[in-house]
């Protein structure tokens, strides 16, 4: 999973927003998704759901986050 975390304080999609790319290997093969999420809360819920499912299936999770440290 790769997460490009936005520094925006308002809900937004597109440029300067939160993007989550996720690769999953399940019974039906490899699936790659990219989601543009409008708020930090929704992003945390989305990420948490993916991690919960992966860990429940006995899979490992590797994640990288791009945070602004300004």
Q: Are residues 6 and 18 in contact, defined by beta-carbon separation less than 8 angstroms?
A: yes
Quick one: average pLDDT of 58-62?
89
Kindly report, residue by residue over 14-42, the tens digit of the pLDDT.
Answer: 888 899 999 876 666 778 889 999 998 99
> How many Å apart are CA 17 and CA 5, to the nearest integer?
7
Look at residue 9 and tell me whether its pLDDT is greater than 90. Answer: no
pTM metric for this prediction: 0.82
């Amino acid at each position: 999973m790769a997460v490009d975390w936005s520094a925006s304080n308002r809900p937004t999609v597109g440029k300067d927003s939160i993007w989550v790319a996720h690769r999953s290997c399940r019974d039906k093969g490899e699936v790659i998704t990219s989601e543009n999420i409008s708020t930090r809360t929704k992003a945390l819920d989305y990420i948490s759901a993916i991690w919960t499912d992966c860990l429940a299936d006995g899979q490992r999770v590797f994640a990288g986050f791009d945070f602004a440290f300004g």
